């Protein structure tokens, strides 16, 4: 096995990517979740997305959520935007780390934003210039990087070509979304290798779903490849509203539990994180899929009879 990194950076995406695939909850509940996560030691949180309320009604109150949220020093908060209008709203709200999504699959991209992948890339080039002119950093997330629910397999070379284009256009970093949980360790290895062959220096983050039970295996493979930045969602909240059956982000507490047992630091308090997962269940009024939430950490022992 390759040498493991000493530390990993996890971006908590439950408040945005998690909640956008759930039944809408009140603004105050979203703020409670965001503020609770800010107190776990997590250093990066995807807080909201600035999208049209008809497209994602769960994010209709993004401005108010962000206004009410307690911003903790040392935590980097980011927002996702679909277009220039969303970027202008995010900048006006004070965000300096902003993400935009393009799908590697044309079909998924059209379902998502009603444009081809190439058309979205043209828009993103202009959006990157807008963000940089305002002093913000631009991250491009490539959705369906490991497969598309409409088209099937996605060629890693196509994803690498998209990365080459957005880096040329000024993207500060890239992320790869396993939008429908089609990723496997083999596909993770092939994708990371293809991207590094073309753009070895671009900062990379991976976003796994556990739809088919492979998220932790994929995470381990990525660690062996030297990747140290990942998305995860408290309790396993969320999925993708434009990808049928794509529920189940990698649960943050499952990732942290495994990483800590491997001696890899995340800076996150696992007990506090499990408490937030319990809060998320309470706020949503439903059972969440995280195994660590159900069973507790491996250090939680059952009393002897």
Alpha-carbon separation of residue 79 from 137, 236, 278, 301 (angstroms): 11, 19, 24, 39
CATH label of the domain that carries residue 230:
3.20.20.70
DSSP state of 138: E
* Number of other residues whose CB lies within 10 A of the CB of residue 83: 18
The pLDDT tens digits of the residues spanning 78-111 come to 999 999 999 999 999 999 999 999 999 999 999 8
| Domains: count for the chain | 1
Identify the domain containing residue 19 by its residue range: 9-295
In a domain, 301, yes or no: no
* Residue 304 pLDDT greater than 60, yes or no: yes
Q: Is the pTM of this model over 0.85?
A: yes
In a domain, 250, yes or no: yes
Quickly list H helices, 114-204: 117-133, 156-168, 185-198
Catalytic (active site) residue 240:
yes
In a domain, 258, yes or no: yes
The pLDDT tens digits of the residues spanning 170-188 come to 999 999 999 889 999 999 9
98, 100, 104, 240: which one is catalytic? 240
* Residue 157 pLDDT greater than 90, yes or no: yes
Report helix, strand or coil for 97. strand
Alpha-carbon separation of residue 271 from 31, 200, 254, 256 (angstroms): 20, 37, 12, 10
For the residues 18-40, what does the mean pLDDT come to? 96
pLDDT at 162: 98
The pLDDT tens digits of the residues spanning 236-282 come to 998 655 555 556 799 999 999 999 999 999 999 999 999 999 999 99
């Amino acid at each position: 096995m390759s040498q493991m990194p000493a530390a990993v950076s996890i971006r908590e995406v439950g408040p945005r990517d998690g909640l956008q695939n759930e039944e809408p909850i009140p603004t105050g509940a979203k703020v409670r979740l965001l503020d609770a996560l800010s107190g776990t030691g997590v250093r990066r949180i995807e807080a909201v997305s600035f999208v049209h309320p008809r497209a994602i009604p769960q994010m209709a109150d993004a401005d108010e959520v962000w206004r009410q949220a307690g911003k903790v020093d040392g935590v980097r908060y980011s927002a996702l935007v679909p277009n220039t209008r969303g970027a202008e709203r995010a900048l006006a709200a004070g965000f300096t780390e902003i993400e935009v999504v393009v799908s590697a699959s044309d079909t998924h991209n059209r379902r998502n934003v009603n444009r081809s992948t190439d058309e979205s890339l043209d828009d993103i080039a202009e959006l990157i210039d807008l963000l940089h002119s305002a002093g913000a950093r631009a991250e491009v997330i490539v959705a369906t990087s490991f497969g598309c629910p409409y088209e099937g397999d996605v060629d890693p070379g196509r994803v690498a070509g998209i990365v080459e284009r957005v880096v040329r256009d000024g993207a500060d970093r890239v992320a790869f979304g396993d939008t429908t949980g089609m990723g496997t360790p083999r596909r993770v290895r092939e994708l990371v290798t293809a991207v590094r062959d073309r753009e070895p220096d671009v900062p990379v983050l991976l976003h796994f779903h556990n739809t088919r039970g492979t998220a932790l295996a994929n995470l381990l493979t990525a660690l062996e490849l030297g990747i140290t930045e990942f998305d995860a969602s408290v309790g396993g909240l969320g999925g993708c509203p434009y990808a049928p059956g794509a529920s189940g982000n990698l649960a943050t507490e499952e990732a942290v539990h495994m990483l800590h047992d491997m001696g890899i630091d995340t800076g996150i308090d696992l007990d506090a994180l499990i408490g937030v997962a319990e809060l998320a269940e309470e706020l949503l009024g439903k059972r969440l899929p995280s195994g660590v939430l159900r069973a507790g950490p491996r250090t939680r022992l059952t009393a002897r009879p």
